[in-house]
């Protein structure tokens, strides 16, 4: 890949620090580890989920004339406990409250809806605003105490009066008991009525209104578990074809299914798989080919997959190989032994598209994240760190040195901090605003506007 | 080891200097594999096979029934509890959680720090 231009990134977009959320101290509690980040369809809301089962939603403030230089900041809008730890006594299994995924529903009215899931249970949350309250009841005081009816001499009509904005989150549906294995994905259908949930071996289809049943549409569990060779790692509905969805596997394949073909979509309509050179096969081949994330482009024309070392773009019309492959951190190939020993080789990185599908982004180690501009064939490595956190300071491209000679400002592979991983990133659907999650902090970067 | 890069030599005809060339052409991945096998000779040859996958499917399962518990206690009576074993398999039943080891089970009633923080700047 050619190096990024002086500005870094695509088309000379320069990225500036905007905000960082979360505690500064290095002592990170397990519960504070961010496990998912997602913008809603308008980009006005940004949701995060963490290992403690909590969801925090930020809202972008309206652009003000005072600060034309930046787009609105994101401030806390709502926060709630979505999931709690549970214990499955029958299987002696602890069920983590960690939020694996959050997906927003397209907005239909004043309220916002999102789906959040842990390993076993999906919940539909309604987030609504209340900015007025009724006052002037005849039989109740303002504080709620009941008034003795005998003391009422005149009647008045209660009226609504403005109050301080209150944002309430309430669970509207709980979709439980449909997954034996751990849920890794949820995806809302373009029909806005159904959604899918996928675990290691099965994909289920739900109707948003119906919680007591779901349809199993993919089942790859073998009759004999000894014959198990691959698991489902991610699944997503096509952005505008309501009958189409894809699921990825631990063997690096993606299957596209058409729900019109059969009730059970075990037979794929398309199989995306890049042929492997058998000579290059090693102990690690299958592990690093495992796909950790799959995302349709907004256009629905392309599919992006993330495996341990690369990001691949597939054209839905060509199953034989990806049309583009981007190396995220190829220098790790000669560190696979230690990465296997410290389990980092199993880290599940996500990836995302920008609004017009021209740039893709994914995370790496040392709090680095990478952007690949598909059109300009440029890539850049940036870092989310407190050192680069002066307001509107431009992010400087980072470089990892692979050879013996390390230039100034470069960092050597052996100095990378593998505990600082950026697994979750999100791109605003319309603007150049990105949300990058380090272990316990959420960074928001914006395009530098002149 | 792949000898397919060499056009004329067959498997039998690999003189010493040919082996040197071969070693230089080992992919970094294969070199890492050799390193791993040297450290863990018992590692099976099917990394993506059912052992790894089944371990993944059982993620989080630390508890077991009293039968396992008593059997494990009997085994461990004679020797010390092993510290992080080099092999990557965890046999349910051999690991006895003590109350101190168990993670807290109550939910995080504390608000997320993402919500509580004053703006950094």
| pLDDT one-digit tens code per residue, A351-360 | 999 999 999 9
**Average pLDDT of span A36-56:** 97
- pLDDT tier at B12 (50, 70, 90 boundaries)? very low
Mutation choice for A interface testing from B60, B115, B116, B121 by most A CBs within 10 A: B115
Range of the domain at A236: 15-447
- pLDDT tier at B105 (50, 70, 90 boundaries)? low
A343-357, A363-377, A388-402, B18-32: least confident range: B18-32
Q: Is the pLDDT of residue A258 over 80?
A: yes
* A279 compared with A273, residue with greater pLDDT: A273
Nearest Cα neighbor of A110 from A167, A43, A183 is A167
| pLDDT one-digit tens code per residue, A55-111 | 999 999 987 666 666 678 999 999 999 999 888 777 777 899 999 999 999 999 999
Q: Is the pLDDT of residue B53 over 60?
A: yes
Rounded to the nearest integer, the mean pLDDT of chain A is: 92
Q: Is the pLDDT of residue B9 over 60?
A: no
User: Does residue A2 form part of some domain?
Assistant: no
Window A:126-155, CB contacts with B under 8 Å:
none
At B67 the pLDDT is 64
Q: Which letter does DSSP use for residue B86 in this model?
A: S
Residue A183, chain B, CB below 8 Å: the answer is no
A66-75, A141-150, B60-69: least confident range: B60-69
- pLDDT tier at B10 (50, 70, 90 boundaries)? very low
Q: Is the pLDDT of residue B61 over 70?
A: no
pTM over 0.80: yes
Instruction: Give B96 to chain A, closest Cα distance, Å.
Output: 14
Q: Please list every residue in chain B whose beta carbon sits closer than 8 Å to the beta carbon of residue A48.
A: 112, 114
At B70 the pLDDT is 64
Nearest Cα neighbor of A296 from A317, A271, A313 is A313
Q: Is the pLDDT of residue A255 over 80?
A: yes
At B80 the pLDDT is 47
CA pair distance A122, A116, nearest whole angstrom = 6
How crowded is residue A403: how many other Cβ atoms within 10 Å of its Cβ? Answer: 8
Residue A31, chain B, CB below 8 Å: the answer is yes
* Domain count within chain A: 1
Minimum-distance CB partner of A94 among B53, B56, B62: B62
User: Residue B121 and residue A93: Cβ atoms within 8 Å?
Assistant: no
User: Residue A225 and residue B54: Cβ atoms within 8 Å?
Assistant: yes
Q: Please list every residue in chain A whose beta carbon sits closer than 8 Å to the beta carbon of residue B86.
A: none
Q: Is the pLDDT of residue A405 over 80?
A: no
* A283 compared with B6, residue with greater pLDDT: A283
For residue A318 the two structure tokens come to 């060509």
- pLDDT tier at A144 (50, 70, 90 boundaries)? confident
At A301 the pLDDT is 98
- pLDDT tier at B96 (50, 70, 90 boundaries)? low
Residue A224, chain B, CB below 8 Å: the answer is no
**Average pLDDT of span A279-293:** 92
Q: Identify the top-confidence range among A4-13, A26-35, A306-315.
A: A306-315
Q: Is the pLDDT of residue A116 over 50?
A: yes
- Is residue B32 left, alpha or beta, with left meaning phi > 0 and alpha meaning psi from -120 to 50? alpha
Q: Identify the top-confidence range among A280-284, A342-346, B19-23.
A: A342-346
- Cβ contacts below 8 Å, chain A against chain B, sum to 150
Domain harbouring A118, CATH code: 2.130.10.10
Q: Is the pLDDT of residue A8 over 60?
A: no
Q: Is the pLDDT of residue B85 over 60?
A: no
User: Residue A81 and residue B113: Cβ atoms within 8 Å?
Assistant: no
User: Residue B120 and residue A24: Cβ atoms within 8 Å?
Assistant: yes
């Amino acid at each position: 890949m050619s190096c990024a231009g002086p500005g870094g990134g695509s088309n000379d977009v320069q990225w500036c620090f905007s905000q960082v959320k979360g505690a500064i101290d290095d002592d990170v509690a397990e519960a504070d580890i961010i496990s998912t980040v997602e913008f809603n369809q308008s980009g006005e809301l940004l949701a995060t989920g963490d290992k403690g089962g909590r969801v925090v939603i930020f809202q972008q403030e309206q652009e003000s004339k005072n600060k034309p230089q930046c787009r609105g900041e994101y401030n806390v809008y709502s926060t709630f406990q979505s999931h709690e730890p549970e214990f499955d006594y029958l299987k002696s299994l602890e069920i983590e409250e960690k939020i694996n995924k959050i997906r927003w529903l397209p907005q239909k009215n004043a309220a916002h809806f999102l789906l959040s899931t842990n390993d076993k249970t999906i919940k539909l949350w309604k987030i609504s605003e209340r900015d007025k309250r009724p006052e002037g009841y005849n039989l109740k005081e303002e504080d709620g105490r009941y008034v003795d009816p005998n003391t009422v001499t005149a009647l008045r009509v209660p009226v609504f009066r403005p109050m301080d904005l209150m944002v309430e989150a309430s669970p509207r549906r709980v979709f439980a008991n449909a997954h034996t294995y751990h849920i890794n994905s949820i995806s809302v259908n373009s029909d806005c009525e159904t959604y899918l949930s996928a675990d290691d071996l099965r994909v289920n289809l739900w109707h948003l209104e119906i919680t007591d049943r779901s349809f199993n549409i993919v089942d790859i569990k073998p009759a004999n578990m000894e014959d198990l060779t691959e698991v489902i790692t991610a699944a997503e509905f096509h952005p505008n074809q309501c009958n189409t969805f894809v699921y990825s596997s631990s063997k690096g394949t993606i299957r596209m299914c058409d729900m019109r073909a059969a009730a059970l979509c075990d037979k794929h309509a398309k199989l995306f798989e890049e042929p492997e050179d058998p000579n290059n096969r090693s102990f690690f081949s299958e592990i690093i080919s495992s796909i950790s994330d799959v995302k349709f482009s907004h256009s629905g024309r392309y599919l992006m997959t993330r495996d341990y070392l690369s990001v691949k773009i597939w054209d839905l019309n060509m199953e034989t190989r990806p049309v583009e492959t981007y190396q995220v951190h190829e220098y790790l190939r000669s560190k696979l032994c230690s990465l296997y020993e410290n389990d980092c080789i199993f880290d599940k990185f996500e990836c995302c598209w920008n609004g017009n599908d021209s740039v893709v982004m994914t995370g790496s180690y040392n709090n680095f994240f990478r952007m690949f501009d598909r059109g300009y064939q440029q890539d850049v490595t940036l870092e989310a760190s407190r050192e680069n956190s002066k307001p509107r300071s431009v992010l400087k491209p980072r470089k990892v040195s692979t050879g013996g000679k390390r230039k100034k400002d470069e960092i050597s592979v052996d100095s990378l901090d593998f505990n600082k991983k950026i697994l979750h990133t999100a791109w605003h659907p319309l603007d150049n605003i990105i949300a990058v999650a380090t272990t316990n902090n959420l960074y928001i970067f914006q395009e530098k506007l002149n | 080891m792949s000898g397919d890069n060499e056009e004329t030599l067959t498997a039998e005809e690999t003189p010493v200097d040919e082996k040197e060339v071969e070693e230089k052409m080992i992919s970094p991945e294969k070199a890492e594999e050799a390193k791993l096998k040297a450290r863990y000779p018992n590692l099976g040859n099917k990394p993506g096979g059912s052992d790894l996958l089944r371990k993944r499917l059982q993620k989080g399962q630390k508890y077991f029934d009293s039968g396992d518990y008593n059997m494990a206690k009997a085994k461990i009576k004679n020797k010390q509890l092993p510290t992080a074993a080099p092999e990557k398999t965890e046999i349910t039943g051999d690991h006895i959680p003590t109350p101190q080891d168990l993670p807290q089970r109550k939910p995080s009633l504390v608000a997320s720090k993402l919500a509580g923080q004053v703006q950094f700047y």
